[in-house]
Chains A and B, each alone.
Chain A
Amino acid sequence: MKILVCLKQTFDTEAKITLDSNGKIESKGVSMIMNPYDEFAVEEALRIKEKGEGEVTVISVGGQQTQDALRQALAMGADKAVLVDPGEIELDEFSTATVLAKTIGGMEYDIILGGFRAIDDGSAQVVGRVAELLNIPVVNVVTKLEIEGGKALATREVEGGSEVIEVALPAAFTAQKGLNEPRYPSMKGIMKAKKKPMDKKTLADVGLDENQIAAKVKALSFSLPEARQAGKVIPGEAAEAAKELARLLREEAKVI
């Protein structure tokens, strides 16, 4: 079983966001992590592999610092990593998906996994786009995945419940929280990861040029939200305060 995991390096969830002198998101000095949803994808890949024979390859599109996230996946137990560094150009989801699909197109795979969204831009579309480009089915927001006999049974979260979807492999799946509990890399895993292959590619190496991946979406401006102002604390004992709150919600805020 050949399993590919698409992963992204993102800002830490605790990161404070500021703008740089060009009015763009400042990335200097921000601690970076593997997108938490992609950790679920890596973990699931490892579990599938551990049930039988298999190989797990992690792939990312990003700058050289992205190697840290890939090494973390190798330390968790992935076998090899591929990093495509597109250089200093603006990417959107179309661009990233095009690079990933072109890279994956030259590889063998049965299963493609990724987080259902990244916590930075939260666009939740790259893996779906990759599946469309590779002409394989996708199942999103998966909370349970069973692989057997060239097929997958995926439970996905939908509003007000869940669905169980069967697809034939090869197929792509995106991980939702609840799919598994990702492992921490062991010391042994971290040592081993240093020797595992990290294949670093450029756009040209995967057979693309900048025009072919030009972003469709243009970011026009970035801003920081206005901080919410603290309102009033309602004084008094529980009964008194609760009564006053109910009145304020109706008469002042007019929200009920």
Chain B
Amino acid sequence: MAKGIWVFAEQREGQVKKVSFELLSEGRKVADQLGEELCAVLVGKNVSDLTEAVSAYGPDKIYVIDNDALENYTTDGYTNAVSDLVKKYEPSVLLFGCTVTGRDLSAQVAQRFQTGLMTDCTGMEVVDGQLVFTRPIYAGKAIVKASCPEARPAMATIRPNTFAAVENAKQAEVINVEYGAGDIRQVIKDIIRQVSERPELTEANIIVSGGRGMKGPENFKLLEDLADVLGAAVGASRAAVDAGWVSHSFQVGQTGKTVSPVLYIACGISGAIQHLAGMSSAKCIVAINKDEEANIFKVADYGIVGDLFEVVPILTEELKKIMAS
């Protein structure tokens, strides 16, 4: 019988993603309630060094596949590796962070085992011995609770920042498993890194976002300055993206990224329904907009009706003082 709550510990270039720690922390609680083991899955090249970081978040076991062929993420390589482990050890639950990699990989593994996959979840709870997941659908305009009652493993991807990462160090048993050769049909020809010191949008605790009111690409510098004081990521509304001021990878909303930061500062964003859909699960929303009738004020915890070109630089200076104190 399938047993064990598994978390895919996503790493990129030797760094384990924060969302993986979040899942291990919450997975620990769920595993204890169900009386099952919590296991982490670590796949890549030279990832054995990362077992210590992973074990700080409480897994009983860490399954490791360390192989040169897995240096960079490829759909086939990682699907093969994770599927080998699933086949061998038959977990009951398999969780991924809802990241680009988590989405990509989970779909392939789910189909290989003909099982169910609930994506972009914002909650999980044990109900009558079953894991029930909460998923926002229609870009957050509705919520569904769902489970995968029979097929195993039950699979889900969880949105970053849903759970707190809480250290809970345990002496995890490390189990090394050989990578069974399999075709990797995706050949990586090039990897282009955008050099940025800022956190990734979907994982950021704080996001400073700009819309049509920014008036032009050059003015995003104002938001970058504010973001850097707070260690925040920079985002944008569809209006700013469609105007060509910033690339689509910055877009927050129904046709962009869905984010749930602790703090979301919306500057010159009117608050169209399609933007709100992408950020209204933020814990605290700040709106700075000239138009006091703007929709964004209806969801904001704090609003300033004013010219962002005046307010933002002062706010940056004030926060700089506060952050230093």
Q: Which residues of B contact A (CB under 8 A)?
A: 12, 73-76, 99-101, 103-104, 106-108, 110-112, 114-120, 132, 136-151, 185-194, 196, 200, 202, 206, 230, 247-249, 251, 254-256, 258, 262-263, 273-274, 280, 283-286, 292, 297-307, 310-312, 314-315, 318-319, 321-323
Contact digits for A92-128, partner B, Cβ 8 Å, 1 yes 0 no: 1110010000000000000000000001111111001
Q: How far is the CA of A17 from the CA of B140 in the complex (A)?
A: 10
A215 touches B116 (CB 8 A): yes
| Alpha-carbon separation in the docked complex, A221 to B145 (Å) | 5
Q: Does A89 contact B (CB under 8 A)?
A: no
Contact A253 B302 (CB under 8 A): yes
Residue contact B305 to A233, C-beta cutoff 8 Å: yes
B51 to chain A, nearest CB (A): 23
Stretch at the interface among A54-62, A70-78, A152-160, A197-205: A152-160
Q: Which residues of B contact A223 (CB under 8 A)?
A: 142-145
CA–CA, A131 to B110, complex, Å? 12
Interface size on A, residues (CB 8 A): 81
A219 near B146 with CB under 8 A, answer yes
The answer for the CA separation of A238 and B148 in the assembled complex, in Å, is: 52
Interchain CB contact under 8 A, A125 and B119: yes
Q: Is the interface of A mostly helix, strand, loop or mixed?
A: mixed
Given A121-B137, A129-B111; A230-B314 close (CB under 8 Å):
no
A221 to B123, CA, bound (A): 14
> What are the residues of chain A within 8 A of B144 when measuring CB–CB?
219-223
In Å, the complex CA distance between A7 and B212 comes to 31
Q: Which of A1-45 contact B (CB under 8 A)?
A: 11, 13-17, 19, 25, 36-37
Main secondary structure, interface of B, reads mixed
B206 touches A228 (CB 8 A): no
Among the stretches A79-87, A133-141, A185-193, the one at the interface with B is A133-141
Which chain A residue shows the least CB distance to B73? Answer: A158
> Is there contact, CB below 8 Å, between A245 and B286?
yes
The residue of chain B having its C-beta at the shortest distance from the C-beta of A93 within the complex is B117
Q: A125 and B103 in contact (CB under 8 A), knowing A153-B189, A177-B248?
A: yes
For the complex, what is the distance from the CA of A222 to the CA of B104, rounded to whole Å?
A: 26
Pairs A-B, 6 closest by C-beta atoms: A216-B116, A125-B107, A128-B107, A231-B301, A217-B116, A137-B185
A119–B141 Cα gap in the complex (Å)?
A: 11
Residue among A15, A246, A247 facing the most chain B CB atoms (10 A cut-off): A246
CB atoms of A241 and B111 under 8 A apart: no
User: CB < 8 Å: which of B100, B140, B263, B284 contacts A225?
Assistant: B140
Contact B322 A159 (CB under 8 A): no
Which of B12, B110, B273 has the most A CB atoms < 10 Å from its CB?
A: B110
CB–CB A217/B314 < 8 A = no
- Knowing A164-B188, A165-B186, say if A217 contacts B118 (CB, 8 Å): yes
B111 near A97 with CB under 8 A, answer yes
Contact in complex: A233, B303 (CB < 8 Å): yes
Contact flag A230-B119 (CB < 8 Å), given A11-B138, A165-B186, A238-B314:
no
